[in-house]
A and B are shown apart, each in its own frame.
Chain A
Amino acid sequence: MEKSITRAVSRRLNDLFTYAGATSLLLIKTVFWAFTPPFKIRQILLQMQKVGVESLPIVFLTSFFTGMVLALQSAYQMQRISAQIYIASLVALSMTRELGPVLTGLVVAGRVGASITAELGTMKVTEQIDALETLAANPIKYLVVPRFMALLIMLPLLTLYADCIGIFGGYIIGVFKLHLSPSIYMNMTINPLQLKDVFTGLFKSAIFAAIIVIIGCYEGFRTEGGAEGVGRSTTVSVVTAFILIIAADCLFTALFYFIGR
């Protein structure tokens, strides 16, 4: 009994380390190939369009509503102490430091991470990845690097966009529902914001981008077993990316907290 538990635990740990090792290796290879010419600029631009520009609508929706909800929920508290005007600062800080990067990361993991795994997984089960190799083309260079570079550029930009839209959502509530003065609201948004707040958010979003692409590609590459397998690895990819994004967010928030002191 005790032995079988030990064995189960050790197998789980073994799987975990294997996974961590394999994904880290993929990350290292990706960075290596990213700096090895020839650079696939056209591919990167194409992917930037696919992962970035096409994500604008959904990022708009989520951050706009989050900004509004944030303003409304805090109004409920702040009204009691007649401090409604701090709603502006609260929305600005929580969007740039936390909600902008994390929400955008999660939305993009659901949208882009899933599509990366589905596409690469389909390529795997239809032997297109093998075909690439027989044509002397490295699958990491051809498939992973363009997606990696594209998301590394686009996710921080999307996050910046989400920050602005979230603040705008808060502004709509603040000015039109809570009847705060627009100029004071803007002042209370800009003043407490430090460049540091925005940058730590953007830094986190770059980490999230790496997580989404590496997990997405790794799960795609190891897909087995036809259409069913593609569905399975797509689910695994999204769930894993979600967990890692939340965990990384927690880790880096704590890190910045201690560095900032």
Chain B
Amino acid sequence: MIEVINLNKSFKDNKVLNNLNLTIESGITSVIIGRSGCGKSVLLKHIIGILKPNSGQVIIDGQDVTKLLPKELNKLRLNFGMVFQGAALFDSMTIYENVGFNLIEHTDMDSQTIAKRVKEALALVGLSGIENLRPAELSGGMRKRVGLARAICVRPKIILYDEPTTGVDPIMADAVNDLIKNLHDKLQVTSIVVTHDMVSAYKVGSKISMLYEGRIIETGTPEQIKNTHNPVVKQFVTGAAEGPITAQNKIVNEV
């Protein structure tokens, strides 16, 4: 279980997370939705400990991530896989070195075993025989899947997805959604998916939470979210241009 308690984060004067509370249950896929720039990536980076909060806690299996020493944090991170929005593959390395990075760096497995694991991870995302290519030689969709392969190659207990379907075509987006679901079913992992793509949210999520103005304003099953009475959530999930989210901006613009 992951518990985020009273998390606050500001960049200079920009208050991004404002007393955010969130509980993520183990073994299911939780989706966090919200507009672009509302702090979804920032929240994920706090969960994996890349960013430090101004105050608040992130408790994973009883450990407070925000207070861990670098060494302990690195140990904890071996349980995590993170899939970045732009894949964040290492340009200077081959696909093999990218996907096998963790095993090459942190284990003393022989290269045959690593090669096998890399092959398996690539197969899980529907790719094969691209080990010796470089990221620049791949299409956007393939890069995204390689990013996913890199995350699962360590056999993580928790996978974080940062906008997995943004920037890929609708068919590829559906394939990615299927992948997330399949991986979850096969590996029994806890998944956190951050997205503003409602199709994806409904498809992969068991729980959906909405992030708005630095806090979680509603959490529920896809069914509950679809039939929500909260006007803000309603505007977001139906994708309406008119509503409380945009009304506020209008006032700001007019003044």
Q: Place the interface of chain A in its size category.
A: 10 to 19
**Cβ contact within 8 Å between B101 and A127:** no
Residues of A within 8 A of B81 (CB): 134
Q: Mark A57-79, 1 if CB is under 8 A from B, else 0.
A: 00000000000000000000000
**Cβ contact within 8 Å between A138 and B88:** no
Q: Is the interface of B mostly helix, strand, loop or mixed?
A: mixed
Q: Mark A116-145, 1 if CB is under 8 A from B, else 0.
A: 000000110011101111111110000000
Binds A, one of B70-78, B164-172, B190-198, B219-227: B70-78
B159 to chain A, nearest CB (A): 11
**Cβ contact within 8 Å between B105 and A138:** no
- Contact flag A130-B45 (CB < 8 Å), given A136-B74, A138-B70: yes
Give the residue of A128, A133, A136, A138 whose beta carbon is less than 8 angstroms from that of B90. Answer: A128
- Contact flag A131-B84 (CB < 8 Å), given A136-B102, A137-B101, A138-B70: yes
**Cβ contact within 8 Å between A130 and B50:** yes
B127 to chain A, nearest CB (A): 18
Once the chains are docked, how many angstroms separate the CA of A122 from the CA of B135? 14
Cβ < 8 Å to A, chain B residues 76-112 = 77-78, 80-82, 84-86, 88-91, 101-102, 105-106
B144 to chain A, nearest CB (A): 13
Once the chains are docked, how many angstroms separate the CA of A126 from the CA of B89? 9
Q: Which 5 residue pairs across A and B have the least CB separation, nearest first?
A: A136-B74, A131-B88, A127-B88, A134-B82, A136-B77
List residues of B whose CB falls within 8 A of some A CB.
45, 48, 50, 70, 74-75, 77-78, 80-82, 84-86, 88-91, 101-102, 105-106, 150
28 pairs from A and B in contact (CB 8 Å cutoff):
A123-B90, A127-B85, A127-B86, A128-B88, A128-B89, A128-B90, A128-B91, A130-B50, A130-B84, A130-B88, A131-B84, A131-B88, A131-B89, A131-B90, A132-B90, A133-B50, A134-B50, A134-B77, A134-B81, A135-B101, A135-B105, A135-B150, A136-B74, A136-B77, A136-B102, A136-B105, A137-B101, A137-B105
